[in-house]
């Protein structure tokens, strides 16, 4: 799920991380069943805009998935509860899978108690429905990665050769053995069973044929396209989210009670038909929209004891107390208002701004490994954490997230960890033929020798580019201006430009090999990358990957990723990290801020998961 994140010392942590996780534990007062909690939508100014869980790239956000769709529709396997990198088998409709002796077939058992709210069982055919849709409409799914024929690997669903469905399971046979952790925690974690009642093509309920097909059916595309078109259109119609009969059929612990199309606010109520392990304590939850952090802050300051008070909200950057590891409640400005300080999730993600290797103006410059090293050397991640983030943050060291614990970090990855080194940045520019007497610096030694500017860079070219980032983020403003000033000392002119988050999303998705006209932008800070259980960048950076919008392609990188996907050997991780640490990626690593939550006294929440989603079924008011 794309959006804005120490690790295990050996790659063996991968296989250990797929055990079932316990529900969030609580200490102190026991739960008081029932009641309605009011929670601020996160972050301010954002709200869900897609309810159909077959999510396109531009809709693949935390606000749509982990903070909305997962309340109602659970994937086969849930990952990340308690901010831990584990498969949580008690959170989804599927039990632990079993594998054939040759490693090619996985059988996914479905829980007998897990039902749709209309009383129908969640069956293997519901899973087949999703896979059929994925096969027919892969271009419209943000999770999809096309086959990489150069390295001989395919991804879901193209690597499936056969399926066998029953009411209680689905058996999936692949074209070759794959990493079992990858299949469960990454591939099947994106598969969400869909009720057969959704196999319709119009408001009249005209029956479709998508769910009954097989993946090799010659009519698959023709059968699924009208169903997808209908569901996708309905899934973006915010005015009917709460009234459309389609979305009243749920299998998660919650159902949508109301949705305000004008404000984006919504409320959920307990699903009385839910058959999963963790039933909700609360009767309902209201997610309250705010256009700004200041408006939310005013409500928090009024106190937690009123009927309209928030049980969960977020501190403003100005109101956030400086982090104190010995006493997180120190200098809490909301203590008298009845709120305690709670650390947000250590998101399983890497923070970065992205370089457009396909940029018409500066793509040639970005593709020089020394230049991306210069850009990284000028990024003071710890300075951002100590400064505007007030200690609430953690650094991104490279392509494998260092937090939360559980990811494999190789010696090569540790040695190549991003660092702040402005002296090295300036030395690299000088060593590669740049005149630093002015800013921007100019190339005075064109050519491809070690002491020249690099392939495609012409004499007189300037070291400059435009970096776009979201509006209305004061802390980000401070970070970006500090970065601009630091880069200038190495002769690099970074022109900062602010745009809305939605505008930036449109620019990012407009750039593709078959859409060169959309590749005008140089660099964009949008959020970062959030992997699934294993940090495999198959969709992010492999050639043709669904989220690879940077013009990046490297055969060696593709081969290393393919080995991650097809091998159960932990050494594959070290090989991949060694290779990725040796090449120039279109990503400049940035620190990850941690959101600081205000929790009302007398209310128990479970924190966020490793992908910044919510699990309200674990929330409750405490007995006084």
Local confidence band at 542 (pLDDT 50, 70, 90 cut-offs): confident
Predicted confidence at residue 27, as pLDDT, reads 53
Predicted confidence at residue 6, as pLDDT, reads 28
600 beta partners:
339
pTM of the model: 0.84
Q: pLDDT (tens digit, 9 = 90+) per residue, 169-188?
A: 999 999 999 999 999 999 99
Give the fold, CATH level 3, of 74-235: Dipeptide-binding Protein; domain 1 (3.90.76)
CA 183 to chain CA mean position, Å: 18
Helix (H, G, I), strand (E, B) or coil at 186: helix
Rounded Cα–Cα distance for residues 546 and 174 (Å):
21
Is a pLDDT exceeding 90 seen at residue 21?
no
**Nearest residue to 419 (alpha-carbon basis) of 581, 527, 542:** 581
Predicted confidence at residue 3, as pLDDT, reads 31
Local confidence band at 41 (pLDDT 50, 70, 90 cut-offs): very high
Contact 282, 619 (CB under 8 A): yes
Q: What average pLDDT score do residues 6-13 get?
A: 27
In the chain, % of residues over pLDDT 70: 94
Local confidence band at 516 (pLDDT 50, 70, 90 cut-offs): confident
Q: pLDDT (tens digit, 9 = 90+) per residue, 318-339?
A: 999 999 999 999 999 999 999 9
Q: What average pLDDT score do residues 499-521 get?
A: 82
Local confidence band at 28 (pLDDT 50, 70, 90 cut-offs): low
CATH architecture of the domain with residue range 350-593: Roll (3.10)
Rounded Cα–Cα distance for residues 288 and 213 (Å):
42
Helices (H), 184-280: 220-235
Q: pLDDT (tens digit, 9 = 90+) per residue, 471-493?
A: 878 889 999 999 999 999 999 99
Average pLDDT of the chain, as a whole number = 90
Q: pLDDT (tens digit, 9 = 90+) per residue, 562-606?
A: 999 999 898 998 899 999 988 889 999 999 988 899 999 999 998
**End-to-end distance of the chain based on CA atoms, in angstroms?**
38
Strand order in the sheet with 620-622: 31-32, 620-622, 603-604
Predicted confidence at residue 239, as pLDDT, reads 98
Local confidence band at 505 (pLDDT 50, 70, 90 cut-offs): confident
Predicted confidence at residue 522, as pLDDT, reads 96
Predicted confidence at residue 413, as pLDDT, reads 83
Sequence-distant (≥ 6) Cβ neighbours of residue 377 within 8 angstroms: 419, 420, 421, 422, 424, 425, 428, 490
Rounded Cα–Cα distance for residues 257 and 252 (Å):
14
Residue, of 82 and 215, whose pLDDT is higher = 215
Angle of helix 220-235 versus helix 124-136 axis, rounded to 10:
100
Is a pLDDT exceeding 70 seen at residue 18?
no
Pairing of strands 339-343, 98-99: unpaired
Rounded Cα–Cα distance for residues 145 and 543 (Å):
9
**296: enclosing H helix or E strand:** helix 293-301
Q: pLDDT (tens digit, 9 = 90+) per residue, 368-421?
A: 999 999 999 999 999 999 999 999 999 998 888 877 666 767 888 888 889 999
Residue 278, phi-psi category: left (phi > 0), alpha (psi -120 to 50), beta (remainder) = beta
Sequence-distant (≥ 6) Cβ neighbours of residue 224 within 8 angstroms: 132, 133, 135, 136, 137, 208, 210, 213
State yes or no: cis peptide before 559, omega within 30 of 0: no
Q: What average pLDDT score do residues 234-243 get?
A: 98
Sequence-distant (≥ 6) Cβ neighbours of residue 296 within 8 angstroms: 40, 44, 290, 310, 313, 314, 316
In the chain, % of residues over pLDDT 90: 71
Rounded Cα–Cα distance for residues 536 and 449 (Å):
34
- For the chain, what are the domain ranges? 74-235, 350-593
């Amino acid at each position: 799920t794309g959006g804005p994140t120490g690790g295990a010392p050996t790659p063996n942590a991968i296989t250990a991380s797929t055990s079932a996780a316990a529900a969030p534990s609580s200490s102190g007062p026991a739960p008081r069943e029932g009641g309605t909690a009011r929670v601020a939508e996160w972050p301010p100014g954002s709200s869900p805009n897609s309810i159909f869980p077959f999510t396109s790239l531009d809709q693949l956000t935390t606000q749509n998935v982990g903070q909305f769709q997962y309340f109602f529709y659970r994937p086969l396997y849930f990952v990340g509860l308690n901010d831990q990198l584990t498969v949580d088998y008690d959170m989804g409709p599927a039990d632990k899978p079993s594998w054939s002796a040759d490693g090619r077939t996985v059988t996914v058992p479905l829980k007998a108690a897990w039902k749709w709210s209309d009383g129908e069982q969640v069956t293997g055919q519901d899973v087949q429905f999703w896979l059929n849709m994925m096969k027919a409409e892969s271009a419209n799914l943000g999770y999809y990665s096309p086959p990489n024929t150069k390295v001989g690997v395919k991804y879901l669903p193209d690597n499936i050769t056969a399926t066998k469905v029953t009411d209680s399971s689905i058996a999936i046979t692949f074209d070759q053995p794959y990493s079992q952790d990858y299949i469960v925690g990454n591939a099947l974690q994106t598969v969400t069973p869909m009720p057969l009642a959704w196999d319709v093509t119009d408001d009249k309920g005209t029956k479709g044929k998508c769910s009954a097909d097989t993946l090799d059916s010659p009519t698959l595309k023709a059968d699924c396209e009208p169903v997808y078109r209908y569901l996708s259109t309905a899934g973006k119609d915010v005015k009917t989210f709460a009234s459309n009969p389609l979305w009243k059929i749920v299998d998660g612990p919650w159902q949508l009670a109301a949705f305000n199309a004008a404000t984006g606010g919504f409320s959920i109520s307990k699903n009385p038909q839910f058959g999963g392990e963790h039933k909700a304590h609360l009767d309902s939850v209201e997610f309250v929209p705010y256009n700004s952090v200041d408006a939310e802050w005013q409500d928090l300051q009024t106190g937690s004891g009123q009927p309209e008070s928030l049980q969960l909200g977020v501190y403003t950057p100005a109101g956030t107390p400086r982090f104190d590891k010995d006493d997180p409640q120190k200098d809490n400005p909301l203590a008298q208002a009845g709120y305690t300080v709670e650390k947000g999730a250590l998101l399983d993600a890497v923070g970065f701004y992205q370089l457009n290797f396909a940029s018409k103006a500066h793509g040639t410059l970005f593709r020089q490994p020394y230049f991306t090293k210069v850009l990284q050397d000028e990024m003071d991640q710890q300075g951002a954490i100590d400064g505007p983030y007030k200690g609430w943050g953690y650094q991104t060291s490279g392509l494998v997230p260092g937090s939360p614990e559980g990811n494999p970090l190789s010696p090569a990855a540790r040695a190549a960890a991003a660092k702040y080194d402005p002296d090295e940045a300036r030395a690299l520019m000088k060593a590669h033929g740049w005149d630093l007497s002015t800013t921007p610096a100019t190339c005075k030694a064109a050519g491809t020798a070690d002491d020249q500017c690099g392939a495609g860079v012409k004499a007189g070219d300037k070291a400059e580019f435009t970096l776009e980032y979201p509006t209305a983020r004061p802390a980000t403003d401070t970070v970006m201006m500090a970065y601009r000033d630091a880069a200038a000392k190495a002769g690099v002119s970074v022109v900062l430009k602010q745009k809305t988050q939605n505008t930036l999303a449109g620019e990012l998705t407009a750039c593709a090999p078959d859409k060169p006209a959309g590749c005008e932008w140089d660099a964009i800070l949008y959020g970062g990358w959030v992997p699934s259980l294993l940090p495999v960048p198959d969709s992010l950076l492999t050639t043709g990957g669904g989220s690879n919008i940077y013009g990046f392609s490297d055969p060696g990188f593709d081969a290393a990723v393919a080995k991650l996907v097809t091998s159960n050997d932990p050494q594959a991780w070290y090989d991949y990290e060694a290779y990725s640490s040796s090449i120039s990626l279109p990503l400049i690593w940035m620190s990850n801020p941690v959101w600081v939550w205000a929790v009302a006294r007398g209310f128990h929440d479970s924190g966020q998961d490793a992908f910044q989603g919510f699990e309200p079924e674990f929330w409750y008011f405490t007995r006084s």
